[in-house]
Amino acid sequence: MITFRSHRFEAIGTYWVIEAYEPVDDEAWADLLAAVAARIEAFDQAYSRFRPDSLVTTMAATAGTYQLPTDAAALFELYRELYEHTGGAMTPLIGGTLAAAGYDANYSLMPAAALLVPPAWDDVMAFAAPNQLTLHQPALLDVGAAGKGYLADLVGEVLEAAGLTSYCVDAGGDIRYRLGASEPAAAASEPAASAAEPLRVGLEHPADPTQVIGVAELSPGWSICGSAGNRRAWAGYHHIVDPRTLQSPRHLAAVWVTARTTLLADALTTALFFVAPDTLRRYYEFEFALVRADMALAASPGFSAAFFTADQS
Amino acid sequence: MDQPQNQKLLAIIGLVVIVAAVGVGLAVNAKNQQTASATLAPSAVATNQVASTTATPAVESANTSQYKDGTYSATGSYESPGGQESIEISVTVKNGVITATSAQEAATDHDSEEYQQRFIANYKSLVVGKSLDSVSLGRVSGASLTGAGFNDAISQIKTQARA
C-alpha cells in the first residue's frame, strides 16, 4: 500500500505513529489528529495511575461507587476473564504492587523492602453495570497490561468514524492495521486474498533495540503487540510482577501476539507470562511467538513470520 | 509475604543493586545490603544464564573507562528455614555498559520453572538479531515503549547514586 499520510508524536509515555493508506486532505488530516489527541487525553485522564488528576488516582484514595467511561466495559470484562484464566495472576489490582516495586508515579524505581500481594478481585471490586464499579476499599488500579493496546483500538475507531478505513495505528509497538472496510482475513497468517498487503513488522530483539529477531507479516484486520521483560528493568523487577511470587517473571525474554483487536493482543502478551499458550487458546483466537530467556523460540504455526535463527547465520 | 521469601527478595535486590552499582561505577545504595554480602571478581568465564536474563541496556555508565569488559559476579547468602542458601548474580559489562545480568536463584520460582518444563519441547531454534538497517520493515514491535520518563528516572538514579 501507499502511505499518503504519516504522523509521529509522543503520548502516554511512548511514541505513536498514525499512517493513512488512502488520500486525506490537509484540513481533514489536521482534524483527525486533533481528535486522536483528544481521545488519548481522555483515556489517560481516566486510567493513568501516574497522573494526580486521573480517575484512577481518585479511586486509589477513596472507596465508593464510580461511573467509569463507557470504554471501561470491554477493558474490565477482558481483565476479569484473564484473571480467571490465569488463576488470579493477571489483575488490575496489581497497581499497588507495581508502585511498591518502584514503578510509581515518580518513576522512583526504588523498590520497597517488601511488596504486598494484591487483594482478591471480589474482595475489592464489584460491577453493578459494565462501567459502574464499586470499590469496597481504596485500590490503585493498573490497566497497563491491556490499556495501550486498547487505546490503539480506540484511536482506530476515531479514524474510522471520520471515514478513514486504510490505516495503521502504532502505539509504541502495539499495532492495529486495517485496509479498507472489507472483512478481515480469516487468519493472521492468511495470504493476502486481494490487494490486501500484509504489514511487515520487525520483531525487536529483546536486549537490543537496534536489532530485530524476525519479521512478522501482519494481515489487514489484525493487530500485533509485543512485550519484553528487560527493557524497562530496574533492581530485579520489570513492568510485570507476578502476584503469586511477587517477582517479575524471568523465563521469557519476549512475547508477541497477533489477534483481531489490539486490546486482546496486548492483554494476551501479559497473560502469556503467567500461563501456557494452550490454556489461553481454548478461549481466544490468537497467534503467538515466545522467546525464552536463552533466546529459544516457540511460535504457533499460524504466527506468520520469518525468524532469524542461529543455525542459518 | 512470608519472612523467608521476603529475605530472599531483599538478598536478590541487594545483590543486583551491588553488582549493578559496581559494574557501572555507581555508588552503592546501602539500604538493602544487610542481608547480602558480595565479593566481586572479574571473570572471563561465560555466565550460566538460567532463565533469568535481565539485560538492562538502559543503564549506561558515564565513566566508560573505569571498568573493563568482562563478567562480574557476586554471591550472597541468606537464612531460610532449610538453612543457609545462596544465590549468585552476574553482570556482563561491555564498553562500560551492562549488557546482561543473571541470577542462579531464579530457578526457585516454581511457577515459572514448572511452566518452562511443561512447555520446553515446543522451543526450537535459537533466534539471533539482525540490524534494523539490514531489514526492510513497515513498523517495529517489541519493548521499545520505553518512554522519556523511564530513561529520565534511570539518569536521576545515577545522579543520586554518585552524590
Please give the pLDDT value at position A294: 82
Please give the pLDDT value at position B44: 30
Please give the pLDDT value at position A41: 96
* Chain B residue nearest residue A17, CA to CA: B139
Q: Tell me what the mean pLDDT of segment B133-152 comes to.
A: 64
Q: Indicate whether A162 pLDDT > 90.
A: yes
Please give the pLDDT value at position A216: 95
A33-81 pLDDT, tens digit per residue, is 999 999 999 999 999 988 899 999 999 999 999 999 999 999 999 999 9
Q: Indicate whether A112 pLDDT > 70.
A: no
Q: How many CB atoms lie within 10 A of CB A123?
A: 11
Distance of CA A171 to the CA centre of its chain: 9
3-class SS of residue A98: helix
CB contact under 8 A, A230 and B9: no
Strands lying side by side in the sheet with A132-135: A64-67, A132-135, A125-129
Share of chain A above pLDDT 70, in %: 83
* Chain A residue nearest residue B153, CA to CA: A107
**CB A94, CB A125: distance < 8 Å:** no
A9-37 pLDDT, tens digit per residue, is 999 888 899 999 999 999 999 999 999 99
* CB-CB neighbors (< 8 A) of B152 in chain A: 107
Please give the pLDDT value at position B20: 43
If you ran DSSP here, which 8-state letter would residue B73 be given? E
Please indicate if any CB of chain B lies within 8 Å of the CB of A197. no
Between CA B26 and CA B7 the distance in angstroms is: 24
A167-195 pLDDT, tens digit per residue, is 999 999 999 999 986 555 555 555 444 45
CA A33-A36-A38 angle, 5° bins: 110
Element (H, E) at A129: strand A125-129
Please give the pLDDT value at position A95: 80
Q: Tell me what the mean pLDDT of segment A115-142 comes to.
A: 91
First to last CA, chain B: 34
**CB A236, CB B29: distance < 8 Å:** no
Identify the residue with better confidence: A113 or A161.
A161
Please give the pLDDT value at position A128: 93
**What cell was used for A224?**
500485533
CB contact under 8 A, B147 and A117: no
Please give the pLDDT value at position A310: 79
CB contact under 8 A, A113 and B123: no
- If you average pLDDT over each of A51-65, B16-30, B106-120, B122-136, which comes out highest? A51-65
Please indicate if any CB of chain B lies within 8 Å of the CB of A310. yes
pLDDT band at B46 (very low <50, low <70, confident <90, very high): very low
The interaxial angle of helices A262-271 and A147-161, nearest 10 deg, is 170
A210-244 pLDDT, tens digit per residue, is 889 999 999 999 999 998 765 555 555 566 667 77
3-class SS of residue A298: strand
Closest partner CB to B138 (pick from A200, A250, A297): A200
Please indicate if any CB of chain B lies within 8 Å of the CB of A8. no
Q: Which of A238, A308, A309, A313 to mutate to test the interface with B (most CBs of B within 10 A)?
A: A308
Please indicate if any CB of chain B lies within 8 Å of the CB of A6. no
Please give the pLDDT value at position B92: 56
User: What one-letter code names the amino acid at A92?
Assistant: P
Share of chain B above pLDDT 90, in %: 0
**CB B137, CB A202: distance < 8 Å:** yes
Q: Tell me what the mean pLDDT of segment B8-26 comes to.
A: 43
CB contact under 8 A, B132 and A202: yes
Cross-strand pairs, A9: A16
**Phi/psi of residue B78, nearest 5 degrees:** -150, 160
Chain B 45-84, residues with CB within 8 Å of chain A CB atoms: 49-58
Please indicate if any CB of chain A lies within 8 Å of the CB of B117. no
CB contact under 8 A, A250 and B52: yes
Closest partner CB to B142 (pick from A173, A238, A297): A173
CB contact under 8 A, A206 and B128: no
* Chain A residue nearest residue B136, CA to CA: A200
Please give the pLDDT value at position B113: 47
CB pairs under 8 A between A and B: 247
Please give the pLDDT value at position A264: 98
Beta strands, E only, chain B: 41-43, 70-80, 83-94, 97-103, 130-131, 139-141
Between CA A76 and CA A91 the distance in angstroms is: 10
Q: How far is B114 from chain A (nearest CA, A)?
A: 10
Identify the residue with better confidence: A296 or B52.
A296
Share of chain A above pLDDT 90, in %: 62
Please indicate if any CB of chain B lies within 8 Å of the CB of A87. no
Q: Tell me what the mean pLDDT of segment A85-105 comes to.
A: 80
How does the average pLDDT of chain A come out, rounded?
87
Please indicate if any CB of chain B lies within 8 Å of the CB of A215. yes
Please give the pLDDT value at position A207: 81
